[in-house]
Amino acid sequence: MADLWQNAMDHAVTIARHAGEVVREALQDDGKKTVMTKSSSVDLVTQTDQKVEQLIIQSVKEKFPTHSFIGEESVAAGESCVLTDGPTWIIDPIDGTTNFVHTFPFVAVSIGFSVSKQMEFGVVYSCLEDKMYTARRGRGAFCNGEPLQVSDQEDIRQSIIATEFGSSRDPEAINKIFSSLRSILCIPVHGVRGAGTAAINMCLVASGCVEAYYEIGIHVWDVAAGSLIVSEAGGVLMDVEGGPVDMMSRRIVAANSRTIAERIVKEIDAFSPPRDDAAPPNQ
């Protein structure tokens, strides 16, 4: 089995690099960006997201025909989002689609792989930085082959925290997001940042550049790969109210340490968006 997952991971790295080339080419050619919307006018998708997801799924299916998939754009097209015990590829073809649309230079291809509901490997390719982040369960996290280690800063007042506003514009959710942000900023922390992609934010935690990243409203495909990269770099994952993270709950704190994660949890005004694995309203 171990060798089989290594083959799968090698394939994920190859296909993520190829997908990244497609994303980079499309970024340079404004004419290729056909922008559409999904759940709201600020939840964007492009033909490149759809094309890259199909390219990844087709390529994996040829090599691993029995494996399952959870892909952002396939779910948007009506496929179910249920994590079984079987080998499952969890794919975000472009994490940072809004960045992609605006040519804001942080976009990533994110591929997580889970077996028995446990992440076995994660691959995040930051396309414009040409940084390939990888992690395999129990074997560490790497960027372009160099080992990653989270920051050893335990004082939140000496920390940078990453977060995002997401694509919900529900006034109640926005109030809670700002209330949390205000509390965290006023601890005070050194700064708050956001790359516009959950996957890259998590890789920044793993790299030791920021002490933590938190968000309510992300999806399983945004954080599947990044979560293993953080934990294999020595970090911790937590739900925004403390306790274990639930990958389908759309809530996450990823931090360098339990101390920093728990300090953030204290300041978060939590809420629960509809789960990723909730049945569509008409079913």
- In the complex with ligand IPD, the residue whose CB is nearer, 4 or 270, is 270
> Who contacts 212 (Cβ-Cβ below 8 Å, separation ≥6)?
159, 161, 162, 205, 253, 254, 255, 256, 260, 261, 264
> Who contacts 226 (Cβ-Cβ below 8 Å, separation ≥6)?
110, 122, 124, 198, 199, 201, 202, 203, 206, 254
Task: Break the chain down into helix, strand, coil percent, rounded to 5.
Answer: 40, 25, 35
217 binds ligand IPD (CB under 6 A): yes
267 binds ligand IPD (CB under 6 A): no
d(CA 169, CA 156): 29
Choose the stretch contacting ligand IPD; rule: CB under 6 A; options: 23-31, 90-98, 136-144, 229-237.
Answer: 90-98
Residue type at 31 in one-letter notation: G
- Closest separation in Å from C-beta 213 to ligand IPD: 10
95 is known as an active-site residue: yes
CB of 132 within 8 A of CB of 200? no
Burial class for 259, CB neighbours closer than 10 Å (0-12, 13-18, 19+): middle
Residue from 51, 219, 251, 263 touching ligand IPD (CB under 6 A): that is 219
Residues 52-81 that bind ligand IPD (CB under 6 A): 72
Residue from 53, 92, 120, 267 touching ligand IPD (CB under 6 A): that is 92
Here the tokens at position 262 are 């728990």
96 binds ligand IPD (CB under 6 A): yes
d(CA 211, CA 10): 29
DSSP assignments along 93-127, one per residue: EEE-HHHHHHT-S--EEEEEEEETTEEEEEEEEET
Q: Which of 95, 211, 267, 276 is catalytic?
A: 95
48 binds ligand IPD (CB under 6 A): no
- In the complex with ligand IPD, the residue whose CB is nearer, 97 or 126, is 97
- Closest separation in Å from C-beta 7 to ligand IPD: 27
29 is known as an active-site residue: no
Radius of gyration of the chain (CA): 18
- In the complex with ligand IPD, the residue whose CB is nearer, 135 or 218, is 218
126 binds ligand IPD (CB under 6 A): no
92 is known as an active-site residue: yes
Binding mask 177-206 for ligand IPD (x = CB under 6 A): -------------------xxx--------
257 binds ligand IPD (CB under 6 A): no
**How many other C-beta atoms are found inside a 10 Å radius of the C-beta of residue 84?**
12
164 binds ligand IPD (CB under 6 A): yes
222 binds ligand IPD (CB under 6 A): yes
Q: Which of 48, 97, 163, 197 is catalytic?
A: 97
For residue 151, which phi and psi values (nearest 5 degrees)? -65, 150
Residue nearest to ligand IPD (CB): 164
Q: Under the rule (CB under 6 A), what is the footprint of ligand IPD?
A: 72, 92, 95-97, 164, 166-167, 196-198, 215, 217-219, 222
Catalytic residues, by residue number, are 72, 92, 94-95, 97, 222
